[in-house]
Amino acid sequence: MTPLLVIADKEIRDALRNRWVISATLLMAGLAFSLTFLGSAPTGDLGASRLAVTVVSLSSLTIFLVPLIALMLAHDALVGEMERGTLLLLLAYPVTRSQVVLGKFMGQIVVMAIATVVGYGAAGLAVGLQGEGADPQSWHAFGALIASAVLLGAVFIALAHLVSAVARERGGAAGVAIGLWLLFVVLYDMGLLGILVATKGQIHEKIFPWLLLGNPTDIFRLYNLTAFENTRTFSGLAGLSGQMEFSPTWLLSALFAWVVVPLGAAMVVFKRREL
């Protein structure tokens, strides 16, 4: 086993042992189920695929929930070990600092993936297997939702690692993590809305889509609400998708860049960090 895998394995074991995995999974399953079944009443006899509707509602849930879980899971990954005094011993072993960051990152992605796949998957299966529930395209959209939710989780785990590499203490890291959540989930979009209102919607149509790329949750939303025909219909974005600047592949690549850049920065900062 390479040091990378040993560290990732330890991260997963720790999360299993201190019940992180089970609580995150239950939280996601609980919210997904209530949103799916309580929220499905309005679809009634419209002939809508219920799974497609589920994808739309889970997309909104994901934007709130996944960044929060990811930040909580990973914000003290490095600073926590520094503060507890376990990092000194770990680094005295034949492991590089980059391996520590990458190993922890990989382990936390697995934790996030288990919670998302099991939590959302259970709700999706319950809906999809109910009678007229789902057509193949909806299943496709649902699979894409889960995969992109894990990718969104990876973005925020990478951001949390950067916070953790910079922070002097755990409390500070937690504060910054909450700040990041507020910024990307609430404030950024409010800011964009403010710009739209202030410019009376006159902001250039070539600029506005690019501004959306500045927020990973917006990229995630755009991807899930416009990539598939049937989800477009229910998300009210059917009109928009025609004029969309970015293809689904483009959006996924942008999301991927949101993983690579903060993670790379976290490694650079952590490498230079004085112990």
Q: For 198-224, give the DSSP string.
A: HTTT-S-TTTHHHHHTTSHHHHHHHHH
**Tokens encoding 249:** 């592949």
Q: Which of 26, 23, 24, 50 is nearest to 156 (CA)?
A: 24
- Binding to other proteins by residue 14, rule CB under 8 A? yes
Which range in 25-33, 86-94, 114-122, 162-170 contacts other proteins by CB under 8 A? 86-94
Q: What distance, in Å, lies between the first and last C-alpha atoms of the chain? A: 27
Q: How many residues bind other proteins (CB under 8 A)?
A: 24
Figure out which of the listed residues 23, 34, 86, 130 binds other proteins, where binding follows CB under 8 A: 86
Picking from 183, 179, 207, the residue whose alpha carbon sits closest to that of residue 195 is 207
Choosing from 93, 169, 236, 247, the residue that interacts with other proteins (CB under 8 A) is: 93
Q: Which of 235-242's residues contact partners 24+ apart within 8 Å by CB, and which partners?
A: 235/56, 235/59
State which of residues 35, 91, 203, 244 lies at the interface with other proteins (CB under 8 A): 91
Binding string, residues 16-55; x marks residues near other proteins by CB under 8 A? -xx-------------------------------------
89: contact with other proteins by CB under 8 A: yes
d(CA 271, CA 72): 23
Interaction of residue 1 with other proteins, rule CB under 8 A: yes
User: What would you report as the CA-atom Rg of the chain, rounded to the nearest whole angstrom?
Assistant: 20
Is 84 a binding residue for other proteins by CB under 8 A? The answer is yes
- Compare residues 165 and 259 and give the one whose CB is closer to other proteins: 165
Contacting positions for other proteins (CB under 8 A): 1, 3, 6-7, 9-10, 13-14, 17-18, 84-86, 88-96, 274-275
